[in-house]
Amino acid sequence: MIEAGEQAPDFTLPDQGGNQVSLAGFRGRRVVLAFYPADFSPVCTDQLSVYQEVLGELEAQGVVLLGISVDGAFCHKAFRDHLGLGFPLLADFHPKGAVARAYGIWSEEFGVSGRALVMVGPEGDVEWAHLASPLELPGANLIFDALDQRTPA
């Protein structure tokens, strides 16, 4: 898995509306990439719901939250609408898992991304990363703890 201090691989992926979103477009801002295996799975549903609950607090700290999985944009739209999410879900769909591979969290065994959080700093460097076990729900407390230890943007 990618580690703190490394340059975050840039990417451009479609969001739930088919709009192209690039990591480079957020330069100057702190971004948390929330990688998850699949829309509508129980743990992923809980994980993203938790992040939605604290979205306002993250945004107040200047953080942009992006969800990423290998599901397609149409599936992301349905999942986002179902949960009432206020942050983009990006489709690492084709080539399948290319971004997850670049970040070192691809699961060849299951054909999906691992469950991970990666904090990218304003200059595009990885400030913090956490790889969860398959059924672990990486809580928002992990993000807030990492933010408390960061250098101000």
Q: What is the pLDDT of residue 32?
A: 98
Q: What is the pLDDT of residue 152?
A: 55
Average pLDDT, the chain: 96
The more confidently predicted of residues 151 and 87 is: 87
pLDDT of residue 139 exceeding 80: yes
> How many whole angstroms separate alpha carbon 85 and alpha carbon 81?
7
> How many whole angstroms separate alpha carbon 61 and alpha carbon 66?
15
Smallest Cα–Cα separation from 105: which of 73, 68, 143? 68
Catalytic position from the list 8, 34, 44, 63: 44
Classify domain 12-148 at the CATH class level: alpha beta
* Domain ranges for the chain: 12-148
pTM for the model stands at: 0.96
Contact between residue 104 and residue 1 where contact means Cβ atoms under 8 Å apart: yes
Smallest Cα–Cα separation from 107: which of 33, 37, 41? 37
Q: What is the pLDDT of residue 135?
A: 82
> How many whole angstroms separate alpha carbon 55 and alpha carbon 63?
9
Residue type, 98: A
Tell me whether residue 44 is one of the annotated catalytic residues. Answer: yes
The more confidently predicted of residues 100 and 133 is: 100
Smallest Cα–Cα separation from 86: which of 52, 54, 59? 52
- Looking up tokens 């729900």 gives 137
Q: What is the pLDDT of residue 108?
A: 93
Q: What is the pLDDT of residues 48-79, one digit of tens each?
A: 999 999 999 999 999 999 999 999 999 999 99
Q: What is the pLDDT of residue 134?
A: 78
Residues in the chain, overall count: 153
Q: What is the pLDDT of residue 85?
A: 98
